[in-house]
Amino acid sequence: MTDRSRKGGLMTAVDAVPARSGRARGHRMAFALLGSLQVTLIFTLAAIAVPLPEIGRQFQLAREELILLSAAYGLGFAGPLLLGGRLADRCGARRALLAGLLLLGAASAAAPLAPTHPALLAARFAQGVGAALIAPAAMAALRTLFPDPRAHRRATATWGGLSVLGATAGNLLSGVVSALLSWRWALAAPLAVTALALPLVPRLLPPDGPPVRGARLDVTGAVLATAGITSVSYGLVLTDAWSWGSARVLGPLAAGAVLLAVFPRVERRTADPVLPPGFLRDRRRALGLLATALTAAGTSTVFVLLSLHLQQERGWSALRTSAAFVPFAAALLLSGRVAGRLVGRFGPVVVTGGGLATAATGLGLLALTGLDTGIPYGHGVLPGLLLLPVGAAAAFAGSAVLATDRVPADRTGLAGGVHNTAMEVGPTVLFALLLAAGGDRASLAAAALLFAAAAPLLHLARLRPFTP
C-alpha cells in the first residue's frame, strides 16, 4: 500500500490500483466527482434547515406549509429511488446520471428564483426527483470504476460517510449564506455543481454498454413503490402539525400502506420486477439497511432539534447556530478518514455495531444536558455533538458495505436505490415516531435507546453469509 493510499478520505477507495498507473489518477478523479455529487445531494436536502424560519416569514407560511416545504425535497428524493436504481441497471449508470443532472440543474435554477411558495415547493420536489436518478446511478458507477471486490468495498465504506458530511455542510453553509447573502443563494449551490459535473461525467466515467433489451421495465411496480413511499412519507411529515388520528394524516398513511401492500404481490408476478422479492431476504443486507436508516434518522433529528433549540430557546442567530455545528463537522471529517480502514481491518459488522453504540452515547448525552438552557454550550451540547459524528461515520461506513456488497453486476443500481431509500425514508419515518415520544428531550432519549438496542443486533449478520 502506498503512502498516499494510507491518507484516508476519498483516496482510500483506490488502494488496489497501482499509483503509477494513469488509470489510477482517472479513477481518483472519477471517485472525487461522484463523491462530490453525493455530498451535494444531501447538502441540498439540508440547505433550508437553518433558514427555514426566515423563509416562513418571507412567504407568510403557516406551520403545516413550512413543514411540507421542509420535506418537499426528501419526498421527491425518496419515492422514485427504486425506479432510478433500475433505470441505471437497464439503461446504464452514465446515461441515468446525466439525465438526473439535467433535471437537478433545471430545478436548481428555478428554486432560487421562485416568486411564491407553490413555485418553491414544486422546484424543491423536482430537485428531489433529479437526486433520485443521480444517487443510485453514482453507486452503480462505483462498481464499474472498482470491479475488484476489495477496492469496491473500500470505496463503498468511504462513500457511506459522504451523506452525513453533506448534511453537515448543508446545515453549516446554509446558515452562513443566509446570514451574509440570502437563503436563495444556498438553493443555487446545486446548479453550480451540476454545471461543472455535466461535461466531466462523459470524460471521467467509462461509456455504458447497450441498454438491456428483451425485458420490459416494471412500470406498475415502479409506480406502486414511488406512490406508496411518497404517500406514507407525506402522512408522517404531517404528524408534526396534526394529530395521528386526524384525516389529514390517516388518509395518506392508509393510501400508502395499501399501495405498499399491493407492491410485493405485483412483484412476484412480474418477469423483471423493480425490486426482486428475494433481494431483501439477505440478513446482512437487511441489517445494513436498518443501520443506515437509523443513523440517518438520528443525525437528522439532532440537526433539526438543536437548530430549533438554539434559535428559539437560546435566541441564537442563524449564523451562530451554524457555527455550533463546526465541532460536529470536524469530528466527522477526522472519523471519516479512518472509518474505511477500520472496515477493512475489522469488517463491516464490528464497525457498524461499534458506531451505533458510540452514537447512542452521544445521543444520550444530548438528551441529558444538550437542551438545558441553564448549561453552557461547551458543557451541555458539545460533548454529545462530538461523540455522535464519530459513531455516525463508523456506522455509515460499515452499513453501506453491508447493504451493497457482493450484489450482482446487473443489480448495482438497484442496490444503490435501496440503500438511498433507507437513508431518505429512515429520517422521515423514525423522526415522526421519535417526536411522538413527547418532547425534544424524550425524542433524543428514545433515539439513544434505539441505537443502543440495534448495536448488538448487528452480530446476527454473522449467522448467514451474503446471498446474491
Q: For residue 72, is pLDDT > 90?
A: no
Q: Are residues 135 and 229 in the same domain?
A: no
Q: How far apart are CA 145 and CA 397, in angstroms?
A: 19
Question: With 90 as the cut, is the pLDDT of residue 96 above it?
Answer: yes
pTM above 0.85? no
Lookup result for grid cell 412500470: 219
How far is the C-alpha of 458 from the C-alpha of 350, rounded, in Å?
8
Span 272-290, pLDDT tens digits: 788 887 788 888 888 899 9
Rounded Cα–Cα distance for residues 468 and 54 (Å): 49
Residue 10 counted as domain residue = no
Does 14 map to a domain? Answer: no
> Per-residue confidence at 107, pLDDT binned at 50, 70, 90?
very high
Structure confidence at residue 344 as a pLDDT band (50, 70, 90): confident
Same domain, 235 and 308: no
Inside any domain, residue 8: no
pLDDT exceeds cutoff 70 at 1 = no
Task: From 333, 85, 35, 324, select the one nearest 222 (Cα to Cα).
Answer: 85
Q: Are residues 345 and 456 in the same domain?
A: yes
Number of domains the chain contains: 2
- The mean of the pLDDT values for the chain is 83
- CA pair distance 311, 48, nearest whole angstrom: 14
Question: Is the per-residue pLDDT at 12 higher than 50?
Answer: no
Mean pLDDT of 7-27: 49
Q: Say whether both 307 and 453 belong to one domain.
A: yes
The label of the residue with cell 443525525 reads: 299
CA distances, 442 to each of 324, 366, 382, 393, 433 (Å): 22, 11, 19, 24, 11
Structure confidence at residue 24 (pLDDT): 65
pLDDT at 23: 63
Mean pLDDT, residues 56-75 taken together: 82
DSSP helix/strand/coil, 67:
helix
| Highest mean pLDDT out of 119-133, 161-175, 182-196, 201-215 | 119-133
70 plus 46 within the same structural domain: yes
pLDDT of residue 258: 95
| Average pLDDT rounded to a whole number, residues 241-255 | 88
In angstroms, the CA 35 to CA 191 distance is 16
Q: 265 and 287 share a domain?
A: no
Is the confidence at residue 338, as pLDDT, over 80? yes
Q: Is 63 exposed, middle or buried (0-12, 13-18, 19+ CB in 10 A)?
A: exposed
Buried-exposed string 266-302: b where 16+ CB fall within 10 A, e elsewhere = bbeebeebbbeeebeebbbbbbbbbbbbbbbbbbbbb
Nearest Cα to 158, choosing from 5, 293, 295?
5
- How far apart CA 394 and CA 452 sit, in angstroms, is 15
461 close to 349: Cβ distance less than 8 angstroms: yes
Residue at 301 is within a domain:
yes
Q: What pLDDT shows up at residue 464? A: 47
Is residue 59 exposed (0-12), middle (13-18) or buried (19+ Cβ within 10 Å)?
A: middle
Cell of 384: 454529545
The pLDDT tens digits of the residues spanning 377-433 come to 999 999 999 999 999 999 999 998 888 887 887 788 888 888 888 887 777 777 777
Whole-angstrom CA distances from 268 to 264, 275, 277, 285 are 6, 10, 7, 20
Based on its alpha-carbon atoms, the radius of gyration of the chain, rounded to whole angstroms, reads 21
Residue 226 belongs to what domain range? Answer: 218-273
Does residue 77 lie within any of the structural domains? Answer: yes
Q: Is residue 88 part of a domain?
A: yes
Residue 6 has a pLDDT of: 36
pLDDT of residue 354: 93
